[in-house]
Structures are given as C-alpha cells and as structure tokens.
Structure 1
C-alpha cells in the first residue's frame, strides 16, 4: 500500500510538471495571447496539489496509523478515477481552447470535470472513515497492558 501511494504521488508529480510544460509550449507555439484564460492554466496545479501533495500526506498518515491494505487500495483507485476525470477534462478542454475548436465551449467538459470533483469529494469522505478506523485501532492497541515475559 505504501509503495502504491508513493508511486501514485510520483506519477501525479510527473503529470503535473509535464502538463505545465505542455501549457507553456502549446500556447507559445500557437501564438495564443491570454495564456491564463484556458483550462490548461490550472491543470498542472490540480495535478500537483491533489495528486502529489494529497497523496504524500495520505502516505504519511498511512505509514503512521497503519491504514488497512484493502481500504487503502480502494481509496487510491477512487482518487485516481476522480482526479483523472478532472485533470483529463481540463487538459482536453484547455487544448481545444488554445486551438480555437468550438467544442471547447461545450457544457460536457464542465460535466466531466464536475463528476471528477464529486468522486474526489466522496473519496475524501471515505478517507476520513478509513482514518477514523485506523485511529481507533491504534488507540485500542495503545491501551492494552504490556505483557510480561517469564
């Protein structure tokens, strides 16, 4: 589980850095004037904050409190789904905006991004449930009397 969290954080770091580079280069190459007016402008910060920072915090909490393997795997999977939908919609819509494709203005992109945000929200609630369970388990083992070896 800890390896999975570490690898996931590293993956989102790479995606965040690459999408920032992509945003800079595609807007420069296409001569797009107002770079901050596209969804590409915030895609890399979503990947870095929600992908890298959140998953590193979860990694530290999982290491500290011994979060269960099964629930931890489900959390990571759901987090990837939610963040993937959000990030993917932002990158595609932003690219279409830069290229001037009318499909960029479709409400579909807001729907996909909104769905991703809803999955992320639900997954965050699920993580608090997992964390509460791990804290109770940690509290229970901390209050057990020490055994004396003969």
Structure 2
C-alpha cells in the first residue's frame, strides 16, 4: 500500500510543478496562445494522483496487490502516463518557444496512450479477479432482493 501512496504523492508533486512550469514559461515568453502545457497539470493530477488514490482505496478493500497482474498493471500504466506526460510537456514547450514538434513526438505520445490503455485493461482484469461474482442461485444478495421486472400482461 505504501508504494501506491508514494506513487500518488509523486504525481501530486509532478502535477503541481507542471502547473508552475506552464505558468512561468508562458509568462517569461509572453505567450498567449494554446499549448499542451495548459493540460499537463490536470492530466497528471487526474490520471496520476487521483487515480492512484482510488487504487489505494480499492487495495484496502480488495487487496489488489495479491493478484500477480497488479505489478504488470502498475508498471505499464506508469510507463504510459510518464511517456504521455513527457511528450505533452515537450510538445507544449516547443509550441511556446515557437518551434514545431516532429512526428517522433506524436508517435511517442501515441505509444504512451497505448500503454495507458493496456494498463487500464490490466487494472480492470485485476479488479475483477478480486471482486466476487454474484451467484444467481444462492444466498441473499442485493440482486436477489430486487423486484422482478413486470411484463406487459401484469400491467
């Protein structure tokens, strides 16, 4: 659990620093246009800090780390987010400095998004392995207490 908390903490720091970087760089260069630097701050805070705080709560409830796929999710997702954020920062910085970014930056950002997607799929597989499935035949579950849908004949 400490690793998940530390990860969220690191993303909080990176998110706040990226917001400061955006503000100071655009102010220093008198830049007023659109740049990807404007959204790096929120991406890091939402996809990094907030996401891992949610993972921390789910770990407490379901011990996700006991599933071997958790490590694959953790490292794949973090690699994807790091690559995506670095490419967004590079692209945004080049925009502020008046340079164009090349195809390599777009390709690397695309790879980052693919890794994020694979990481999310692994996360949901991990989560599904730890949440018990509902049995239709046994036990008193919330689903078994729901009223049956009425048919047209019953109306």
Same fold (TM over 0.5): yes
Alignment of 1:65-104 (within 5 A): 65-67=62-64, 68=66, 70-102=68-100, 104=101
Deviation of the 1:70 alpha carbon: 3.9
- Partner of 2:132: helix, strand, or coil? helix
Aligned 8 A contact 2:72 2:122 in 1? no
Alignment of 1:133-144 (within 5 A): 133-136=129-132
| 1: CA distance, partners of 2:39 / 2:9 | 19
Mark the runs of 5 or more structure 2 residues left unpaired by the alignment.
140-155
Deviation of the 1:69 alpha carbon: 6.0
- Partner of 1:38: helix, strand, or coil? coil
| 2: CA distance, partners of 1:126 / 1:71 | 7
Larger radius of gyration: 2
Give the 4+ runs in structure 1 shifted more than 4 A: none
Mark the runs of 5 or more structure 1 residues left unpaired by the alignment.
144-150
Aligned 8 A contact 2:67 2:126 in 1? no
TM-score, normalized by length of structure 1? 0.83
Greater percentage in helix? 1
TM-score, normalized by length of structure 2? 0.80
Corresponding residue number in structure 2 for 1:147: none
Matched pairs, number: 134
Instruction: Provide the alpha-carbon RMSD of the alignment.
Output: 1.8
